[in-house]
Amino acid sequence: MTMSLARVGGFIAAIALGLTVAGCGYNTIPTLEEQAKAKWGDVQNNYQRRADLIPNLVATVQGYAKQEREVLTAVVEARAKATQTRVDVSQLTDPEKVKQFQDAQNQLTGALGRLIAISENYPDLKSNQNFLALQSQLEGTENRIAVARRDYIEAVRLYNTELRTFPGIIWANTFFRANKPMAEFTAGENADKPPQVKF
């Protein structure tokens, strides 16, 4: 009888310890980290979608505006750089790597803006159905990028806050010492000014 009470008491203590650990937020840091990594995947997927649209857009514009070779070349080169600059989830704690990625994407955004802007000079291009469809897809993709970036920034904010506040800071300083704050996107130069692109 005493042995069975000891077993029952041990079992109850184990359950209580498990509930205490679960209730104190032990799982919060890894959960928030995984959510931020998933949001980063969404960011990368949307940037890749944009990169996949560019060859068709360049080919369409090239058919109408061959003399705009400089702008077309700038778009192709910016796309190449943007697709080569990768940040995997293990590098999200390195602000310099995230900044390099962001800079490459911003350079591509600027080159695309110039490419779309030249369509104003070519009425036939502006009315081309293929160009209009690609332009619409590009605009939709830019919106998806903005949403994915916003979601990633929020996920990183929650994760970083958990590492620095109670009770997360206890877990961060004991069991999750290897976990470092993740880098966020930063506003680029002239971010306070709207882009001067006409459609």
Q: Which domains does the chain have, with CATH numbers?
A: 40-174 (1.20.1440.20)
The whole-angstrom separation of Cα 67 and Cα 183 is 41
Looking at per-residue pLDDT, the higher value among 157 and 12 belongs to 157
186 versus 198: which is more confidently predicted? Answer: 186
Per-residue pLDDT band at 190 (split at 50, 70, 90): low
pLDDT at residue 197, as a whole number? 42
pLDDT in tens, 155-167: 999 999 999 999 8
User: Residue 81, class by beta-carbon neighbours within 10 Å (0-12 exposed, 13-18 middle, 19+ buried)?
Assistant: middle
Residue 180: per-residue pLDDT: 96
Which residue's structure tokens are 């990368």? Answer: 44
Cα separation of 101 and 185, whole Å? 10
The confidence score (pLDDT) of residue 65 equals 87
Q: For 18-69, how does the pLDDT look when each residue is reduced to its tens digit (9 = 90+)?
A: 656 555 678 999 999 999 999 999 999 999 999 999 999 999 998 888 888 8
What's residue 3's pLDDT?
A: 57
Give, to the nearest 10 degrees, the angle between helix 95-117 and helix 129-164: 160
3-state secondary structure the chain: CHHHHHHHHHHHHHHHHHHHHHHCCCCHHHHHHHHHHHHHHHHHHHHHHHHHHHHHHHHHHHHHCHHHHHHHHHHHHHHHHHHHCCCCHHHCCCHHHHHHHHHHHHHHHHHHHHHHHHHHHCHHHHCCHHHHHHHHHHHHHHHHHHHHHHHHHHHHHHHHHHHHCCCHHHHHHHCCCCCCCCCCCCCCCCCCCCCCCCC
Two tokens at 91? 């590098």
Tell me: the pLDDT tens digits for 72-127? 999 999 999 999 999 999 999 999 999 999 999 999 999 999 999 988 889 888 88
What is the arithmetic mean of pLDDT over 138-156? 97
* Stated pTM of the model: 0.81
Q: By the 8 A CB rule, do 175 and 52 touch?
A: no
pLDDT above 70 for 198? no
Tokens representing residue 156 in the block: 């990183």
